């Protein structure tokens, strides 16, 4: 049994880069460009134009909906540089192909990482990955956010389950709000900050209710 903490990385038993190697062992034809591996049997399935959009795997009869796009491969056979040519920073014998848009280093086809429309070198790629944690990093690098506003919301209303916790819940909510008040808008999928205010409502409704009853009671006794 394996414990997988990464939310996206598939467990070792899943098909991440796998699938195709095992296909040959089953004797079924291997997928080629323009076809896909059947998720059930691994046989190559060529998409057909059915009116319903669904088709069946010719080998295991599993119902599938397949969408295939032409394969676009990056050029990775970096050319050797001629004596007068500009060369790669990392591979002095390879010809210049692109310029890193972060640090300006010359890159060959091997070192040219494309992120969307941006060309970056391996060093800047690694730096961007490691620096794209909770707050830092641009949208292109961002791979994780912590939802502080949702944490505050849970704290703000969660004390009802065990009321003495309210003593710690109020300062915790204030700290979260002050420290991360801009976080909801800086998430990759930005959100408004209403959860912080709803958390305050959760913390203050009972004290406010008790206080209002007390005040009303005192006023009634005076009259």
Closest CA to 105 of 95, 127, 118, 120: 120
Q: Which of residues 61-90 bind other proteins (CB under 8 A)?
A: 62-75
Residue closer to other proteins (CB basis): 65 or 85:
65
CA–CA dist 29, 218 (Å, integer): 86
Residue 25 binds other proteins (CB under 8 A): no
Q: What is the DSSP secondary structure assignment for residue 95, as one 8-state letter?
A: B
**Do β-strands 44-45 and 36-37 pair in parallel, antiparallel, or remain unpaired?**
antiparallel
193 is an interface residue for other proteins by CB under 8 A: no
Q: By CB neighbour count within 10 A (0-12 exposed, 13-18 middle, 19+ buried), where does 185 fall?
A: exposed
Instruction: Identify which of residues 65 and 181 has a Cβ nearer to other proteins in the complex.
Output: 65
| Binding region for other proteins (CB under 8 A) out of 22-30, 86-94, 174-182, 205-213 | 22-30
Of 109, 128, 138, the closest CA to residue 99 belongs to 109
Question: Which among 122-130, 150-158, 163-171, 174-182 is the span making contact with other proteins, rule CB under 8 A?
Answer: 150-158
Task: Compute CA distances 147 → 60, 151, 211, whole Å.
Answer: 44, 6, 32
185 binds other proteins (CB under 8 A): no
For other proteins, give the closer residue by CB, 150 or 208. 150
Q: Which of 1, 12, 17, 83 binds other proteins (CB under 8 A)?
A: 17
Task: Report the half-sphere exposure of 1 (CA within 13 A, side-chain side).
Answer: 1
Contact positions vs other proteins (CB under 8 A):
6-8, 10, 14-20, 26-30, 32-37, 39-40, 44-49, 53, 55, 58-59, 62-75, 97, 109, 114-117, 138-140, 142-148, 150-151, 154, 187-189
């Amino acid at each position: 049994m394996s414990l997988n903490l990464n939310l996206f990385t598939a467990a070792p038993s899943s098909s991440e880069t796998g699938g195709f190697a095992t296909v040959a062992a089953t004797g079924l034809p291997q997928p080629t460009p323009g076809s896909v591996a059947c998720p059930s049997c691994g046989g190559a399935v060529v998409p057909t134009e059915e009116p319903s959009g669904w088709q069946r795997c010719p080998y295991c009869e599993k119902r599938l909906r397949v969408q295939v796009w032409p394969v676009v491969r990056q050029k990775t056979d970096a050319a050797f540089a001629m004596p007068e040519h500009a060369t790669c920073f990392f591979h002095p014998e390879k010809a210049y192909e692109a310029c890193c848009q972060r640090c300006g280093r010359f890159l060959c086809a091997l070192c040219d990482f494309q992120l969307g429309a941006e060309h970056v070198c391996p060093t800047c790629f690694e730096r961007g990955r490691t620096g794209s944690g909770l707050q830092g990093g641009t949208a292109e690098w961002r791979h994780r956010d912590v939802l502080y506003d949702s944490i505050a919301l849970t704290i703000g209303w969660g004390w009802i389950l065990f009321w003495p916790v309210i003593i710690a819940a109020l300062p915790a909510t204030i700290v979260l709000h002050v420290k991360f008040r801009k976080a909801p808008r800086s998430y990759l999928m930005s959100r408004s900050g209403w959860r912080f205010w709803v958390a305050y409502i959760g913390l203050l409704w009972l004290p406010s209710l008790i206080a209002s009853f007390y005040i009303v009671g005192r006023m009634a006794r005076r009259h």
